[in-house]
Structure 1
């Protein structure tokens, strides 16, 4: 653990740390940000030794904190930073040759063969977790699947269910949708997209939108020479224009009418929503959607295609 390596909390490696930062930046790591500079100054030169008693949950690992050890991984770390939507700076390397990085929030991440992992909300916590063998959190694009058994393969029912999703997304703080998007694909032959169009929500109570939306969508499908009952219907709740950050990548969609698949809601987002406030809001949203689906039909709770994101 860091304390065992000879540096008390709040220590400062001074010149050696600044030299390591300079070397990393000359290899393309980019401008150092405050959280990265603090982490390097405090921990540069620390050698983390794994607990000899073994790991608590996974294998205990050692590491060395020196940005120069991860300088050749800068391209991979920059790609990861782009996916996460945060800045990263190389911090060191584990005994298994996995690069370590600190993000602009001061969290410690590891880029291993299985992808990115969150080791700790602080560098100290992350290094301690490595040494003690505490399980890291794998960062994956969030995805939940909420089965809706018994939902009629009928446009009106799908619209009402999608409006429930609109309410839950708003109440959990993900975003406040302004429209539903309908994609209707014919079920005969190769499947032709008859409609792919957004339908704005009206002001007022959400339930008052159900009938007008269903009527407008039915007219659009019929105008394309199809019938809603002969189509696979996907209703998407898109993020409103101007949404920024991880929430802009969130998509909630309901698909019905495609036999033999049962109707289901899916809630997905990009990797940038796998941690932080958006992850917490998404987890709350998925739980509320699952509770609604279970109460509606007495069905099992919703299943998650991926582990819940780190919060």
Structure 2
């Protein structure tokens, strides 16, 4: 459900019904006397530590039992919740694992009427974790509660992956190099990361496949198109040295984040494969870790995917020279 590039109501949107307010929430609410012991018990039982965004959210909303909107849900079934970190403390190990995949700390926030654990991250965003997986509810707790109680489709947290067929791409090393350089350009112009190298992996067709070459080739300074010929020549020489022919291998050229890249961008990978799939032909893939499934990283990755999709469509019936 949902789209990785959006998450429920726009920031500051006023819900058609205000279920938290009906449950007793108001601006400036502070349930500190009740919230702080609940936080301490959650830490004692579940482990971990509280952080400012979680403490602030719990002081503001702790103790509320929020009903689902009476209209049943705008896009999906609306559900209510109880805001009390102790209600989600036994989900702490799962929340810790989810936080590790996201690269963020999470703290229990409460439980939905459908028994999904609610959690707040370090940026004050609200997430849910249940039997159906992990979900991003909102950029703030207020927005997240509106998504939940109004029945707005949340964002499913899953590692993004796209596949773009390249019907006009020559199924050879030179074609793969040119596609990889397009990926380098699109990743950079979309604000994902600036690549400094392309990795070549050559797998022979013998038996179950033998990796003959797995090596990184650095990009030269200057215009990207000026890299095409030198890269192709260097990779061809490496294949020759390994005693394999480009036409007798599956070739995968991968563009990854350079060492030292922080945040979700470090998990993004773009690759082009030629020679292996004789049925569907050359293709380019874009994949990333769970941490790119929402927020600014998702927006940048979505722009990258759109650009690659446009380029993929442009190759149909028009060989890439």
Asked if Structure 1 and Structure 2 have the same fold, meaning a TM-score greater than 0.5 normalized by the shorter chain, the answer is: yes
- Whether the 8 Å CA contact 1:29–1:89 is kept in 2: the answer is no
TM-score of the aligned structures, taking structure 1 as reference length: 0.93
Which residues in structure 2 correspond to 1:14-29 (within 5 Å)?
Answer: 14-29=32-47
Describe the superposition over 1:165-212 as per-residue Cα deviations: whole angstroms up to 9, x where unpaired. Answer: 001111111111111100011123332211110011111111011001
Deviation at 1:125, TM superposition (A): 1.4
Runs ≥4 residues deviating over 4 A = none
Measured on the aligned residues, the alpha-carbon RMSD in Å equals 1.2
SS of residue paired to 1:17: helix
Who is 2:295 aligned against? 276
Who is 1:125 aligned against? 143
Aligned counterparts of 1:43 and 1:253: Cα–Cα separation in 2: 45
Deviation at 1:29, TM superposition (A): 4.1
What are the ranges of 5 or more consecutive residues in structure 1 without an aligned counterpart? Answer: 300-311
Who is 1:290 aligned against? 309
What are the ranges of 5 or more consecutive residues in structure 2 without an aligned counterpart? Answer: 1-18
Aligned counterparts of 1:3 and 1:10: Cα–Cα separation in 2: 12
TM-score of the aligned structures, taking structure 2 as reference length: 0.90
Describe the superposition over 1:239-293 as per-residue Cα deviations: whole angstroms up to 9, x where unpaired. Answer: 1111111111111010011122321111111111212222111111111111112
Who is 1:159 aligned against? 177
- Whether the 8 Å CA contact 1:3–1:9 is kept in 2: the answer is no
Aligned counterparts of 1:146 and 1:92: Cα–Cα separation in 2: 40
Which of 259, 265, 279 is the aligned partner of 1:241? 259
Aligned counterparts of 1:90 and 1:196: Cα–Cα separation in 2: 43
SS of residue paired to 1:297: coil
Aligned counterparts of 1:93 and 1:235: Cα–Cα separation in 2: 45
Who is 1:12 aligned against? 30
Who is 2:120 aligned against? 102
Aligned counterparts of 1:74 and 1:272: Cα–Cα separation in 2: 19
Number of positions where the alignment pairs a residue of Structure 1 with one of Structure 2: 299
- Whether the 8 Å CA contact 2:167–2:315 is kept in 1: the answer is no
SS of residue paired to 1:118: strand
Deviation at 1:223, TM superposition (A): 1.0
| Greater relative contact order (CA < 8 Å, ≥ 6 in sequence) | 2
- Whether the 8 Å CA contact 1:109–1:119 is kept in 2: the answer is yes
2:91 pairs with 1:73: yes
2:130 pairs with 1:112: yes
Who is 1:196 aligned against? 214
Aligned counterparts of 1:31 and 1:227: Cα–Cα separation in 2: 56
